[in-house]
Amino acid sequence: MTEKILLEIRGLSMRFGGLRAVDDVTMDLRAGIVTALVGPNGAGKTTLFNLITGHLAPTEGDVTWRGASLLGKPSWMIARNGIARSFQDLRLFTHMTVEENILTVMERSSWLWQPGGSSRRHAQRAKVEEILDAVGLADKREVRAIDLAYAERKFLSLARIMATDAEVWLLDEPASGLDRGSYERFCALLRAHVDRGITVCLIEHNLDIVISLSDRIAFLDQGRLLADGEPQSVLNDPHLSSIYFGERAA
């Protein structure tokens, strides 16, 4: 692999009492590719995201971003450093409009009385328009998030990540529950941003998405990283397939 390493995970572990939710995981996120984090339910995938983004503090190990440790940093600071994430429950401001939801995650430095404030506000508005067009929500800008269809809420969640200008997107089941047309739009949108240099790590159970989008697959089971490599070599491993589909030996 020749891609630059942006984020390094070294010996990362997380214990909840006697349960090791993440168990000595070492892996890298490389620039400009899609890494799919796969494994059965309870494998530790979302916990790993929580450790990377500062929502949990690890029991052991380290996470470094461009060579600097992220341990002890609050989640908002990690996000401002360029690592954005989505959640399975979306976490939208349900009673705000689509446009307001996007504006809330953009830089808070465009007040009119600050130097460049007015021009910056115009630039932000132009950026919002571009994002709304990209996710297909331009005609929903004044609709409250709670009144959107499920697929539209999914795209709004992605729009909020796009608005952060983050270099790394951590997406937790971003396409779950999408209809076929929305799924195809999502895949095209994600690939277009990866082609522009965005680095993506996604948790996904839909193997169609994993196969069509991923450049690399990391396979977790019971908190441990069992494989990290090219998609076909991981997907064609009969042992990993038996674990994924619940056919492991007792």
pLDDT of 170-200, one tens digit each?
Answer: 999 998 888 999 999 999 999 999 999 999 9
- Give the pTM: 0.89
pLDDT of 70-114, one tens digit each?
Answer: 999 999 999 999 999 999 889 999 999 999 999 999 865 444 444
pLDDT of 12-64, one tens digit each?
Answer: 999 999 899 999 999 999 999 999 999 999 999 999 999 999 999 999 999 99
pLDDT reported for residue 116: 55
pLDDT reported for residue 244: 87
Q: In the chain, what are the domain boundaries?
A: 1-82+204-250
Closest CA to 148 of 165, 29, 17, 159: 159
Check whether 249 has a pLDDT greater than 50: no
Whole-angstrom distance, CA of residue 203 vs CA of residue 222: 15
Q: Specify the CATH number for 1-82+204-250; select among 3.30.1330.10, 3.30.1160.10, 3.40.50.300, 3.40.50.1820.
A: 3.40.50.300
